[in-house]
Structure 1
Amino acid sequence: MSPHLPTSLSPNSSIATLILAGGKSSRMGIDKALLLYKGKPMLQRVYQVAAECTQKVYILTPWVERYQNILPSNCNYLIETQPGKGPVNGLSEGLEQISADWILLLACDLPLLDVEIIQSWINKLSQIPASTLALVPRRADIWEPMCGCYRKEVKIELDSFLKSGKRSFQKLLSGIEVEALEVDEKIDLMLLNCNYPGDLK
């Protein structure tokens, strides 16, 4: 077992990581998950950090064969059945298939993830009230939903939200009970996500 694995979750609680790798990468021009950062595909970087923080890591994607060469052979893939519907829908699909009490949700384009920071967030989960459905970084009034923790019970809210035709993570998080994580300088750097080729420089 990795020394970084969570120790302060209650004995009956569990956490798994869900990495979303189903975006079109239209602004980047090529699949962001395969884009190299310091010689390593970004999805591989995200997976390796996730594997240090949680015992189970799942990749939600419609393109399993695309990533098999860069991820471990025992990687847990979930087939995204509604690609293009956005990350809220992706989280809902993941929760449908993952039995953990908490989900660490990560985008595939976060090359600067920090194990210690994420572990410190996981260590907070045992103290969060049952009514709080997520632990998510927030800058001023802007949530950073693609690097946060979600309680399995959020699925009810997600399904209702999606059924009403909404897709915005910002609107979702503004309508449920969320504990906001302050974004300091280190976390701000860690949350760098890559949408354009120049973002990697």
Structure 2
Amino acid sequence: PHSIYSSTFVIVIHMANSKNITGIILSGGQSKRMGKDKGMVLLDGRPLVAYSISAFTGLFSDILIGANNKDYQRFGLSVIADEIQGIGPAGGILSCLKASQTHGNLVLSCDMPLITKPVITTVLKQRSEFDAVVPVHDGHPEPLCAYYSKNAIPVFEEMIKKGMYKLRLILEKLNCFYTDIHKSGIDPSAFENVNTPEDVKRIEARLKSRNK
């Protein structure tokens, strides 16, 4: 299942050893099925957004912090709100790319708690020649765990002006590389996301099994 963003907030993180890349966490707004802001939903006692922060820690530097949502300030990070509200993750990605101080950016949705550093570094390996690098498994692209350069900004702006908000359509206009994660030995289950209380229970069980 895919994330549906009613109001997207963007946490911009830069941490050590980034090699000129900014890490971006997209944290969806209020989730009707979860009864709270998705990034604050607890998974094994930790907010979902904390898993994304852990995946980024040690990979990115040159900290750039916006300011918006007070709920996320307790993580020591500020939040950048969408410049254009109500259009889904495209609005969050655009706002963050514009705020970023680096050419390269790794975008990750907060509802993918199984994403690890090896997954991120696999995506980043192809970044030099492309405006976007998107992992694919079983023919299914994952644009919310992907690399975007600042070259993507005008394309996002143009497509949004036309009312074309789907990331699939935006990617078609970019110089985008689709990297097959199976060839890198990555388990596709890393891209599972959390949308319901049932998802929380299922992924908690997976995390406990992984940590044994």
Give the shorter-chain TM-score range.
0.7 to 0.9
Greater helix share, structure number:
2
Shift of 1:39: 1.4
Tell me if 1:28 matches 2:40: no
What do the CA deviations read for 1:124-173 (whole angstroms, capped 9, x no partner)? Answer: 33xx32xx210111235432110000011110111111111110001111
Cα distance in 2 for partners of 1:58, 1:19 equals: 12
TM-score by length of 1: 0.80
Contact map agreement 2:72 2:79 (CA 8 A) in 1: no
Tell me if 1:117 matches 2:123: no
Out of 161, 167, 170, the residue aligned to residue 169 of structure 1 is 167
Tell me if 1:38 matches 2:36: no
Equivalent residue letter for 1:112:
L
Cα distance in 2 for partners of 1:112, 1:141 equals: 20
Cα distance in 2 for partners of 1:22, 1:153 equals: 24
User: 2:25 — aligned with what?
Assistant: 19
Distance 1:176 1:80, change over 3 A: closer
Gaps of 5+ in 2: 1-15, 203-212
Shift of 1:16: 0.2
Which range moved further: 158-167 or 138-147? 138-147
Compare relative contact order (CA 8 Å, sep 6+) and give the higher one, 1 or 2.
1
Cα RMSD for the two superposed structures: 2.3
Identity %: 24
User: 2:71 — aligned with what?
Assistant: 66
Tell me if 1:87 matches 2:99: no
* Secondary structure, aligned partner of 2:79: strand
User: 2:106 — aligned with what?
Assistant: 104
* Secondary structure, aligned partner of 1:16: strand
Equivalent residue letter for 2:188:
D
Distance 1:101 1:109, change over 3 A: same
What do the CA deviations read for 1:81-124 (whole angstroms, capped 9, x no partner)? Answer: 43322111111111121121111011111111111221233233
